């Protein structure tokens, strides 16, 4: 089994290598590739040192699976070239998510969208993954008419640029290469991605589109994205309008029995999900579950996940795991 990680030096690429090792996937040959400026550098995997090669060289090695975290431009250029060699590409960028015929996959929800002929598979946006992990089992039970979601996204979602900007500002300095148009330290910025003509941002559009593509639904979604001065872990406040009456205890039971979801919800003990609770964990944490009495069949909850793990690296590795178990072996 030959597995390549493309963009292996980045924040998510390094986490992908960590999760691959933790999951103990059958990696007989590991190929690590990155941009030209990183060729020849070294990285570690399972205690061994690997030398980074060019993406072109990685293509010629014909890996069984190539996991991409190299940005949309690189993915658009190179993913089809890997696919032509018979490689299954799992892409973490936005390049392929909206393409018809390219599955957008959260394995716990819609792994069956992948077939033997699916050679490019899109990994969803981090904030979408944690949202649908909680929503999909509830949609199957009650049906969802409408969702209103507000995100509180950490700076790690902007990569090293976001982390460096917050660190510089916390220490009284100013980043030379800021990720945001405003100070993020002691601030909240209601802006993720680029603004569109309708006033939404690209990050908000992703939540709207991707939620429905993954769940094969036509749910009305309203999204507001905000960046907060937290290093890691995305939080979301979610308001749901179900099509049917629901039972609060049944919702709790459904979520408690959903693989990959942990219910942390006991107000009497001040128990609710926080980014620190989710740090370096693969699960999605749900709490603050309560009725919304302002609307019929309304329901509120709070969901938190480590955006670098389940929101990116872990989900991609889980897709690779599915490919190995169901397609390649």
**Any idea which residues carry the catalytic annotation?**
126, 234
Distance separating alpha carbons of residues 313 and 236, to the nearest angstrom: 20
Helix or strand run (H / E) with residue 207: helix 202-215
Of the candidates 211, 91, 92, the residue with the CA atom closest to the CA atom of residue 149: 211
DSSP assignment of 116-165, as one string?
TT--EEEPPPHHHHHHHHHHHHHHHHH-EEEEEEEEEE-GGGGHHHHHHH
Q: How far, in Å, CA of 273 to CA of 283, rounded?
A: 11
Tell me the C-alpha to C-alpha distance, in Å, between residue 177 and each of 75, 166, 239, 270, 323.
24, 11, 36, 39, 38
Q: How far apart are CA 33 and CA 56, in angstroms?
A: 9
106, with CB counted inside 10 A (0-12, 13-18, 19+), is buried
Alpha-carbon dihedral sign for residues 179, 183, 185, 187: negative
Tokens standing for residue 14: 């390094």
Angle CA 103–259–28, to nearest 5? 65
- Do 313 and 192 meet the contact criterion of CB atoms below 8 Å apart? no
For the chain, the helix, strand and coil percentages under 3-state DSSP, each to the nearest 5: 40, 25, 35
Number of helices (H) and strands (E) in the chain: give both, helices first: 10, 13
CB contact at 8 A, 82 and 59: yes
């Amino acid at each position: 089994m030959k597995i390549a990680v493309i963009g292996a030096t980045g924040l998510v690429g390094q986490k992908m290598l960590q999760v691959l090792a933790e999951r103990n996937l059958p990696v007989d040959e590991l190929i690590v590739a990155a941009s030209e400026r990183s060729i020849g550098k070294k990285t570690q995997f399972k205690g061994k040192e690997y030398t980074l090669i060019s993406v072109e060289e990685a293509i010629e090695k014909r890996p069984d699976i190539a996991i991409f975290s190299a940005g949309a431009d690189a993915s658009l250029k190179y993913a089809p070239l890997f696919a032509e060699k018979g490689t299954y590409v799992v892409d973490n960028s936005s390049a392929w998510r909206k393409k018809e015929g390219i599955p957008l996959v959260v394995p716990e929800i819609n792994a069956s969208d992948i077939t033997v002929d699916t050679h490019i598979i899109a990994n969803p946006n981090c904030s979408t993954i944690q949202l649908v992990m909680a929503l999909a089992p509830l949609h199957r039970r009650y049906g969802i008419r409408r969702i209103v979601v507000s995100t509180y996204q950490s700076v790690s979602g902007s990569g090293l640029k976001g982390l460096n900007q917050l660190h510089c500002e916390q220490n009284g300095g100013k980043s030379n290469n800021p990720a945001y148009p405003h100070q993020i330290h002691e601030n909240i910025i209601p802006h993720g991605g680029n603004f569109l003509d309708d006033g939404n941002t690209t990050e908000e559009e992703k939540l709207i589109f991707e939620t429905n593509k993954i769940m094969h639904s036509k749910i009305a979604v309203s999204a507001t994205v905000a960046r907060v001065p937290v290093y890691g872990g995305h939080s979301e406040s979610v308001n749901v309008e179900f099509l049917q009456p629901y039972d609060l205890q049944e919702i709790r039971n459904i979520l408690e029995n959903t693989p990959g979801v942990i219910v942390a919800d006991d107000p009497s003990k001040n128990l609710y999900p926080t980014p620190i609770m989710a740090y370096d964990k693969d699960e999605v944490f749900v709490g603050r579950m309560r009725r919304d009495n302002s609307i019929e069949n309304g329901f509120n909850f709070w969901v938190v996940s480590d955006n670098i793990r389940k929101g990116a690296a872990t989900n991609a590795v889980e897709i690779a795991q599915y490919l190995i178990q169901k397609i390649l072996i």
